[in-house]
Amino acid sequence: MNNDITDIAGIRVGNIHDTDLCSGVTVVMCDWPMVAAVDVRGGGPGTRETDLLSPANTVSEIDAIAVSGGSAFGLDTASGVQAALREMGRGFQIGPVTVPIVPGVILFDLVNGGNKDWERYPPYREMGYEAARTAATRIRLGSIGAGYGATTATLRGGLGSASATTTSGFTVGAIAAVNAAGSATIGQGPHFWAAPYERGGEYGGLGMPAEISDTALLPYSKMSPMESTTPAVVATDAKLTKAEAMRVAIMAQDGMARALHPVHSPLDGDTVFVIASGEKELADPLADILAIGTLGAHCLARAIARGVYEAGDGGKGSSVKPAWRERFG
């Protein structure tokens, strides 16, 4: 296993970023139409096609999910992904017309020091197209894709991913672009809030500090929480209905609360999508969904910590914070 979301068969990821722009996009591609759902907890979300994912609504499957920097300008990313999927002949069939279904979510990185002085149209549509065309089953983490210009309250953010398997054999993976108003680390130290969920020293193996001071419990946040949002995608090879996928999304969202402090603030846009590839039938729906949702939260917490831990050169903008490795080695 790669210990990332591409451990789910049928899931590929494409990442494109621009060093001058100090921003980028990440596209999660589905090799066939897959059931999806979403849970939104942040107070300032920027999304596309999330209403479509309600269990009460008609279309049940998607073709890709677009995650982008650029705030509302980044919603153009999904149009580029649609263009790539249309060339592949993918989409929801309506008579002679095929409409690719691409929900999207954005994070705010417009004031991170990069050059956002584009001309008439922002570059995110073309970046989405390229990311979709180059999606692969092996990915890099850290300062890449939608996580390229990301920050947290104390450190540089980044793109993180992790995966695991339930005792009954369902694979679960998560990917997150960590641009939180809060912090992934405890106070000003190197320890991660997600330390209890770490596997194999994937983010330093430091564990929890001997003591968490009152100061460390203060709500460290960016001077402007508008510079925030951690969008994420959780995937599983289970066969789920939209309602079951939504329950998994609700459970998996708790991974953010285990990895970020504070979280779900008024101007974070924290959003978790869930994709179910449908490869494995549930044997015991209640027990299996409980296990998948629990592992989804664990994987998301780990993905967030890995995104910060793996961050490197996130651009030369004046507002980009130091990486974890630059500060703590």
**For residue range 209-260, what is the model confidence (pLDDT) as tens digits?**
999 999 999 988 886 766 899 999 999 999 999 999 999 999 999 999 999 9
Q: Using CA atoms, how far apart are residues 84 and 11, in angstroms rounded to an integer?
A: 16
Q: Which two tokens stand for residue 178?
A: 């960590």
Looking at the predicted structure, is the pLDDT value of residue 315 above 90?
no
The second-level CATH assignment, the architecture, of 5-115+122-313 is 4-Layer Sandwich (3.60)
User: Locate tokens 């059931």: which residue?
Assistant: 35
For 75-126, what is each residue's pLDDT tens digit? 999 999 999 999 999 999 899 999 999 999 999 999 998 999 999 999 999 9
Angle at which helix 77-87 crosses helix 124-133, to 10 degrees, equals 40
The three-state secondary structure class of 183 is strand
The answer to whether the beta carbons of residues 11 and 63 sit under 8 Å apart is no
For 26-42, what is each residue's pLDDT tens digit? 999 999 999 999 999 99
% of the chain at pLDDT higher than 90 = 90
Q: Using CA atoms, how far apart are residues 6 and 175, in angstroms rounded to an integer?
A: 9
Q: What pLDDT, on the 0 to 100 scale, is given for residue 5?
A: 98
For 134-180, what is each residue's pLDDT tens digit? 999 999 999 999 999 999 999 999 999 999 999 999 999 999 999 99
0.85 surpassed by pTM = yes
Q: Where are the beta strands (DSSP E) in 166-265?
A: 171-178, 231-238
